[in-house]
Structure 1
Amino acid sequence: MRVTAAVRSAKRIPLLQVVKSAVATIAAWLIAGWLIPGPLPVFAAIAALLVVQPSVNQTFSKALERSTGVIVGVVIAVGLSLLLGPYSWVALVAVAIALLVAWAFRASPGTTNQVAISALLVLALGPSSPTYGLDRILETLIGAAIGIVVNALVVPPVLTAPARRDLGMLGAELAATLDRLADALPATQEPSQLQGLMVEARLLRPMQAAAEASVSAGEDSLTLNPRRAARGEIAEMRALLTMLSPIVTQVIGMTRAYFDHYDDTLCDEPTVHAIADQLRRAGHDVRLAVEIADVAPEPVLTSAIPALTAPLQVRPPASGHWILIGSLMEDLRRIHAALVEE
């Protein structure tokens, strides 16, 4: 593993988030210092710095995690100090007990670390009295609240653009895969061509996973977000992904069945040519659905009339091909049902 990979990210966090973190930290320092005179408001500044996240929902979760950890850590630190006295080794005992308490309550890793850090900071930075501990808790709550307010009111993030991009790419590749399979069915194929067809179909899975992650991130960015205008847009994207996901499974299954059961006489089956035509129609309708949802990365000249309008009627295939034809027909029926419903 390269050393730089441990300290550098693949992409930078948005500059706006950096600015908001700085604003929240400075505001928390000034406001907490004004409201709670005494030691420097370190707890407030740290809370505000850590709370600002890519979405308002994540910010609220981080604020809850931070506040819970500080409260538990401060209580443990103050309690042990009053019980055992102001000795340096009490800080080590407090850290160990804080970790055990967090483990016993199955706290998240972030909360677990926060409990231990808060206990250590309270014993290291100031007098271990109930008043000092209460002030540090109030500081943390002030800092967390300021972080939430800043992230919610100063251009709260809406992550719809990545969802639109990934959905458009998935729809375009899904339609292209349908077209490639339609072109392959009535033609004689070399082993390398069959293998390439299968590899390209399998690439739909990571694209589907990327689209799912992006849509979920978009939904998360709108939770607790005052910018409600984009909620209808992300709901349409979720509906489109719900429609496309089963088709991805069926297209990969059709390609796999064709790969496993191919022989050179398959192209002589009249039904295969009819299925190929239906696959091209399905590809057209996938492009149309993506275009209607306004997620296509580039405009595509596509008829606005759905092409896949009726189930395909076929004659019994030759005895050697009935398994493949039946499999293709069933997957095509499911694709038809999904597209007609859409």
Structure 2
Amino acid sequence: MARWHQRTTAWVGRIRATGRLPFLQVVKISVAAIASWFAADALIAEEPPIFAVIAALIVVQPSVNQSLGRALERSIGVIVGVVLATGISLLFGSAAWIILVAVVLSVLLAWALRLSQQTSNQIPISAMLVLALGAASPIYAIDRIAETVLGAAIAFVVNLLIVPPVLVEPARREVKALAEELARSLERLAVASSEPVGRGALQGHLVEVRLLRPMLARAQAAVLTAEDSLALNWRGGRHRGELEGYDAGLVALGVLVTRVSGMTRTMRDHYDDSLHREPVMGQIAAELRRAAHDLRIRYVLAAPGDAVASDTGPLLTAPLVVVSPHPEHWVVIGSMLEDLRRVHEELTAE
């Protein structure tokens, strides 16, 4: 019973999204479908404007740029599918088996032309619809193509004019979350450098720091999505500078993820309870805390698009005085100092 429940839950999870579409998106899809129906019915008439509504449903996407891409894919797919279906109908008549032939030929044609997945799907679907309705003729084909282009154009305009989405906030949130977690990792290293914490705690730190890579990937994906949402978007002008700052910042944060991960691993591998007694470790702990401070100033507390808050400069400026360490500690100290130098370079770079 438990296994059946797990399988049922997995099946349901495949057909349900983790979140709902924004209600505004639902409204725009509905407006585009209604407008496409009435416009095609008034201009092209005779047949129910099914192709126009299908185009409208497909073309309204989360971003204007994606809408343009879907409009082109849908239009090209329909043109090829309708022309193919019309040609097959004129050559072989209207037998039911012709539909299957049209589907196979459509799939082969899309493969031969190396068309995108969306365009490839549209060709056989359009061919099937034309043949199933049983009205394949040159005039019918032209009307269906015009209907599709009209529906796609209306949907694109609707998505462009009715509050086109600006997905900058998720990018801002992900970048700040990554920077905050990096700062916490630096502070954990500072504690381990200044007091005995035990290998168990350091193993936990290593597990936590490994989460930085997925966080970096999420931040990069969020910035790419935000950039896509601003393309062709009349609301995006004031956000482009902010996104450029995040894009450049993620390069530096990626380097810091590598450095902090290496420092944490080095500390775990070479730690002993007497390490904090080395004179330089207190200085290293202070620099790690300064680095965490500067990281928050630069990426968490700064205003959107600003590199560093104007009223607070970086603190990571104090030179370190290194006394010859115990032979068992020189590896970890040397490694920490080199990684700190690279962290300093990333945080002070303009």
Q: CA deviation at 1:186?
A: 2.4
Q: Which runs of 5+ in 2 are unaligned?
A: 1-6
Q: Secondary structure at the match of 2:248?
A: helix
Match of 1:5 in 2: 13
Q: In 2, are the aligned partners of 1:311 and 1:336 still within 8 Å (CA)?
A: no
For residues 28 and 281 of structure 1, the distance between their equivalents in structure 2, rounded to whole angstroms, comes to: 59
Equivalent pairs counted in the alignment come to: 338
Q: Which runs of 5+ in 1 are unaligned?
A: none
Match of 2:242 in 1: 233
Q: Aligned pair 1:212/2:252, yes or no?
A: no
Q: Structure 2 matches for 1:254-333, cutoff 5 A? A: 254-291=263-300, 293-294=302-303, 304-309=312-317, 312-333=320-341
Q: In 1, are the aligned partners of 2:179 and 2:300 still within 8 Å (CA)?
A: no
For residues 295 and 318 of structure 1, the distance between their equivalents in structure 2, rounded to whole angstroms, comes to: 46
Q: Secondary structure at the match of 1:294?
A: coil
Match of 1:252 in 2: 261
1:66 to 69, 74, 82: 74
Q: In 1, are the aligned partners of 2:280 and 2:320 still within 8 Å (CA)?
A: no
For residues 129 and 241 of structure 1, the distance between their equivalents in structure 2, rounded to whole angstroms, comes to: 56
For residues 43 and 134 of structure 2, the distance between their equivalents in structure 1, rounded to whole angstroms, comes to: 18
Match of 1:29 in 2: 37
Q: CA deviation at 1:313?
A: 4.7
Instruction: Provide the alpha-carbon RMSD of the alignment.
Output: 1.9
Once the two structures are superposed, residues 186-244 of structure 1 have per-residue CA deviations (whole angstroms, 9 ceiling, x without a partner) of 22232321111111211222222221111111111001111122212222222332322
For residues 314 and 209 of structure 1, the distance between their equivalents in structure 2, rounded to whole angstroms, comes to: 37
The code of the aligned residue for 1:127 comes to: A
Q: In 2, are the aligned partners of 1:77 and 1:128 still within 8 Å (CA)?
A: yes
* TM-score after normalising by structure 2: 0.91
Runs of 4+ in 1 over 6 A off after TM superposition: none
Identity between Structure 1 and Structure 2 (%): 53
Change (3 A) 1:294 1:303: closer
Tell which deviates more after alignment, 308-317 or 128-137: 308-317
Tell which deviates more after alignment, 101-110 or 67-76: 101-110
For residues 88 and 74 of structure 1, the distance between their equivalents in structure 2, rounded to whole angstroms, comes to: 17
Q: In 2, are the aligned partners of 1:288 and 1:302 still within 8 Å (CA)?
A: no
Q: CA deviation at 1:25?
A: 0.6
Q: Aligned pair 1:42/2:40, yes or no?
A: no
Q: CA deviation at 1:291?
A: 4.2
Q: Aligned pair 1:120/2:115, yes or no?
A: no
Once the two structures are superposed, residues 56-108 of structure 1 have per-residue CA deviations (whole angstroms, 9 ceiling, x without a partner) of 11111111111111111112111111121221111110001101111222222
Q: CA deviation at 1:12?
A: 0.4
Q: Aligned pair 1:176/2:184, yes or no?
A: yes
Change (3 A) 1:151 1:276: same
Once the two structures are superposed, residues 86-143 of structure 1 have per-residue CA deviations (whole angstroms, 9 ceiling, x without a partner) of 2111111000110111122222222221111011001111411111111111111111
Q: In 1, are the aligned partners of 2:92 and 2:98 still within 8 Å (CA)?
A: yes
Q: CA deviation at 1:273?
A: 1.9
Q: CA deviation at 1:145?
A: 0.7
Change (3 A) 1:72 1:246: same
